[in-house]
Copies of this chain bind each other. A is one copy, B any other.
Amino acid sequence: MEVRAQILEEATRLIAARGFEGTSLQAVADAVGVKKPSVLYHFPSKKVLGQAVLDELLSRWNEILPKLLMASALTGLAKFDAVMHELCDFFAKDTDRARLIVRELLDRSGDTKSVMEQQVRPWVDVVASYIEKGQASGQIQADVDPPSYVLHISCLALASFSTSDAFNTALGKRTRGRVHPRAQAELIRIARTSLFEESYLSHQSNKSGEK
């Protein structure tokens, strides 16, 4: 069972870096240190291996999903901070994750339709409904378009993390392999400032003595 896990790990790394089409079974086998038929013994085809990589990613995501939304004891800014913190942590823990998702969105934009409608959209609707509540209570800016906001911020996190190397180079930072702390702080600032009413934010920061 050890070899199977290694194959999955190296395949994840290679597909994230070079794409599914750009990764050969031979390259995966070489990375693990076995021969090609051994790879095909554990995963009966390349397509199955690719799907296993995505399934592994999805199961990791499902691990933190509860923490994301079941932090329902929190409200307003505290809930927002918890969600953004978990989201950034998820991608920061393994930089391949954002790359894999972005590649999947690019490579199979057609095939992901049903996944989008069945898996992503309900999740977006839940977060959007929270935002609408915040708008009703005046904590959140009235002209926010909740579903678009949720998707844009998701896209922003995905893109910034998946291109973190080029991102840091353009920043002139040498923080390899992960998003620079200042850039991550700015990401969260953009998301927060474009969501909450300024009056609510200043009130919260006064209360908590933050910044």
Residues of A within 8 A of B (CB): 18-22, 99, 102-103, 105-107, 109-110, 112-113, 116-117, 120-121, 124, 141, 143-145, 147-149, 151-153, 155-156, 158-160, 162-163, 165-167, 169-172, 180, 182-183, 185-187, 189-191, 193-194, 198, 211
Which of A147, A149, A169 has most chain B Cβ within 10 Å?
A: A169
Closest B residue by C-beta to A16: B106
Q: Which residues of B contact A156 (CB under 8 A)?
A: 152, 155-156, 159
Q: Which residues of B contact A160 (CB under 8 A)?
A: 151-152, 155
Tell me the smallest distance from the CB of A15 to a CB of chain B, in Å: 11
Q: Which residues of B contact A166 (CB under 8 A)?
A: 105, 109, 112-113, 116
Given contacts A19-B22, A106-B103, A145-B182, A151 and B167 within 8 Å (CB-CB): yes
CB <8 Å contact, B21 and A18: yes
Q: Which residues of B contact A19 (CB under 8 A)?
A: 19, 21-22, 106-107
CB <8 Å contact, A148 and B183: yes
Tell me the smallest distance from the CB of A21 to a CB of chain B, in Å: 4
CB <8 Å contact, A117 and B149: no
Closest B residue by C-beta to A108: B166
CB <8 Å contact, B198 and A171: no
Given A19-B22, A22-B22, A109-B165, 18 more pairs with CB closer than 8 A? A99-B106, A102-B102, A105-B163, A109-B166, A117-B169, A121-B171, A124-B170, A145-B182, A147-B170, A147-B171, A148-B186, A148-B187, A151-B170, A152-B160, A152-B187, A155-B163, A155-B167, A194-B194
